[in-house]
Amino acid sequence: MDLANLSAHELADQLKSGKVSSVEATSACLQRLEKTAGLGAYLHVDANGAKKQAAEADARRAKKQSAGPLDGVPIALKDIFLTEGLPTTCASRILEGFVAPYDGTAVRKLKEAGTVLLGKLNMDEFAMGSSNEHSGYLPAKNPWDATRVPGGSSGGSAVAVAAGSCFATLGTDTGGSIRQPAALTGIVGLKPTYGRVSRYGVIAFASSLDQVGPMTKDVTDCANMLQAIAGHDPRDSTSSTEKVPSYTETLEKGVQGLKVGVPKEYFIDGMDPEVRASVDAALESYKKLGATLVDVSLPHTDYGIAVYYLVATAEASSNLARFDGVRYGKRVDPGKGLLDMYLETRGKGFGPEVKRRIMLGTYALSAGYYDAYYVKAQKVRTLVAQDFKEAFAKCDVIVTPTTPTPAFKLGENTGDPIKMYLADVFTVAVNLAGLPGLSLPCGFSKSGLPIGMQVLGRPFDEATILRTARAFEREHDFSARRAIS
Amino acid sequence: MSKEAPIDRAAVLHVAKLARLTVSDAEADALTRDMQSILAYVKKLDELDVAKVPATSHAVHLETLLRPDEPRPCMPLEKVIANSPERIGDGFGVPKIIE
């Protein structure tokens, strides 16, 4: 058996029993990485650093000083995370050559947990995209069918986990960037409650929406990763002081007596019939497991994308003002003074989708349009959040499809921004409301493409989401299937 | 927003300048087309009466958290300026601003 096909907790068991070493697991990932290099998952590989860290993990284990379930587990990180001494580009040409001077908090916590860092993963530039085709370097491809996208923006993260070139990873999710690629590649991805995980050392896209979360081979791995990174951080004033529960303790508790909300707005005409059938079957499965299905309504669902593309772009236009060619990154200076240096640096350094969003956000915030676009979007955001509050008065979790279709073809949506944006139609509302949401595989299409379903929960109730997902996973083999063997 | 005319090429160039972005002629054409279609799409928000709805800037209620006011060492200067495109001594070099 190829080690690269194990889940992280299966690997942890083998590390614990001494059957395999972290060095062996690390070289299995590096071999798999080489075999699947055409999928474009990685932007930077630190093979030597990883081997050294693996040897250190093995040495800790030999001395019985192992740190826990993630010690010695090889991981990789979306290139949006600052990693001390390693290139960090956010898949943008404007940050080509940038080497992060410090570790972000989530990165530091994973290092303290003993993980081995293999390298940095591909993504849509500045996390703006739903297909990974907006990477400034190369597109990532879906390991189940390399003519199709892996989703985005955490596309490289999804590919690396699904293809076995790392055991687990972190993504970031602003409008679906963890859950949508997880769904399209058949893995588990969790966007925690806003504030559950520190954003310190994560390159900002839209600060009121961005959240860090795990992308893993199964639900148990997801719980272990969240456990390692959750909690308040004095370096991020928006990180919550809410107590972090044990996510693993309740994981196997099942769904007996749980109320599962089913929102009619997420089961729309025109959605892919195979997606619909898989999610319907999953709901039946929950009934058999002792849950009760409850009809709920989220009436403002259809406005989510419009709100999102005003709020997120407005915040992005402000956040990305820092890339000006002065303190870091690329500088293009035509020698005609400061203003021209700014204009050329940003004009040449940013790719087309990033420019489009900066432009849209700048417009929405500009004099004369601020109230009509930005404030209006913030008001509708209130309605979207209220919908969830009312729905969660009637149920404990909400189950929906993660995406309207399985993975689409490379190039299929690149000519039409709105069509691309609509790939996130089922994921954006959760970000607007600040809620946690997880995607897990719930089936496969006839042509062999993974289908994902989403489990949403109340603020800071990741534990219930995880056990709901785990209850389904226990009954089915979808998470156990591997794209590459 | 319903009374606003769709954005034209001149407005796109104005916004590009506000955003400190050079755009080529071809980019300006593409941005005009894309922004027109995106702004037409977001007009669907006009279907809702939100006159009495408060705006949400952050969905999760947050206390303003202040960390203890204790002096801590800052990042070493070398690390801070290691990534600068142009270094002058211990500072960031920039194009001349005052003639």
Interface test with B, best of A323, A346, A360, A424 (most B CBs within 10 A): A360
Q: Are A188 and A461 in contact (CB under 8 A)?
A: no
Express each pLDDT in A168-212 by its tens digit.
999 999 999 999 999 999 999 999 999 999 999 999 999 999 999
Provide CB contacts within 8 A for A478, sequence distance 6+.
Answer: A186, A440, A441, A442, A443, A444, A450
Where does the pLDDT of residue B5 fall: very low under 50, low under 70, confident under 90, or very high at 90 and above? low
ipTM for this model:
0.93
**B-chain residues near A433 (CB < 8 A):** 59
Interface with B, mutate which of A197, A344, A359 (most B CBs under 10 A) = A359
Smallest CA-to-CA distance from A317 within A187, A207, A235 is with A207
Is pLDDT at B62 greater than 70 in this prediction? no
Half-sphere exposure of A434 (CA within 13 A, CB side): 24
Q: Is the pLDDT of residue B97 over 90?
A: no
Supply the pLDDT for residue A320.
98
Which pair of structure tokens corresponds to residue A248?
């693993």
The CATH class of the A3-257 domain is alpha beta
Report residue B3's pLDDT band, with 50, 70 and 90 as the boundaries.
very low
Tokens coding A45 = 């590989």
Q: Give the integer Cα–Cα distance in Å for A428 and A14.
A: 39
> What are A221's two structure tokens?
């791995």
- Burial label for A368, CB within 10 Å (0-12, 13-18, 19+), is exposed
The whole-angstrom distance between A246's CA and the closest CA on chain B is 22
- Based on the residue annotation, tell me whether A207 is a catalytic residue of this protein: no
Q: How far apart are CA A221 and CA A216, in angstroms?
A: 6
pLDDT score for B68:
83
Residues of chain A with C-beta less than 8 angstroms from the C-beta of B60 = 193-195, 240, 434, 459
Active-site residue flag, A177: yes
* pLDDT < 70 regions, chain A: none
Q: Indicate the domain borders of chain A.
A: 3-257, 302-379
Interchain proximity A326–B48, CB inside 8 Å: no
H/E stretch holding A2: none
Q: How far is CA A444 from CA A70, A324, A465, A478, in A?
A: 29, 45, 22, 8
Other CB atoms within 10 A of residue A201 CB: 23
Count of A-B CB contacts under 8 Å: 176
Which band of pLDDT confidence, cut at 50, 70 and 90, is reported for residue B2? very low
Q: A450, A441 in Cβ contact below 8 A?
A: yes
Q: Given an 8 Å threshold on Cβ–Cβ distance, is B95 in contact with A366?
A: no
| Confidence at residue A271, expressed as pLDDT on a 0 to 100 scale | 85
Q: Spell out the domains of chain B, with CATH numbers in brackets.
A: 1-48 (1.10.20.60)
Residue A15 Cα, gap to closest chain B Cα (Å) = 37
CB within 8 Å: A342 and B20? yes
| Bridge pairing between strands A188-191 and A168-173 | unpaired
Structural tokens at position A100? 């992060």
C-alpha closest to that of A95 among A107, A110, A83, A109: A83
Q: Closest chain B residue to A97 measured between Cα atoms?
A: B83
Quick one: pLDDT at residue A80? 98
- Residues contacting A318, CB < 8 A, separation 6+: A361, A365
Residues of B in contact with A342 (CB under 8 A): 20
DSSP A350: S
Calculate the alpha carbon distances from A304 to A385, A431, A441, B43 in Å.
10, 10, 24, 12
Q: Which of B1, B31, B42, B43 to mutate to test the interface with A (most CBs of A within 10 A)?
A: B42
Q: Which chain B residues have a beta carbon less than 8 Å from that of A329?
A: 83, 85
- Using CB atoms within 10 Å of the CB of residue B91, give its burial: 0 to 12 exposed, 13 to 18 middle, 19+ buried: exposed
Nearest chain B CA: its distance from A231 CA (Å) = 14
Check residue A386 and give its pLDDT. Answer: 97
- Two tokens at B94? 């920039």
How many angstroms from the chain centroid is the CA of residue A317? 22
Give the residue on A whose Cα is nearest the Cα of B2: A372
Amino acid residing at A74: P
- Tens of pLDDT along B7-18? 999 999 999 999
B21/A381 Cβ within 8 A:
no
Q: What pLDDT does A350 receive? A: 98
Please check whether residue A203 is in contact with residue A82, taking contact to mean a CB–CB distance below 8 angstroms: yes
- Find the CB nearest B38 among A352, A355, A417: A417
> Facing residues of A296 across strands?
A263
Which residue among the candidates A21, A92, A130, A153 is catalytic per the annotation? A153
- Closest partner residue to B19 (CB to CB) among A338, A358, A382 is A358
Q: What is the DSSP letter of A202?
A: B
Tokens of A267: 């089961």
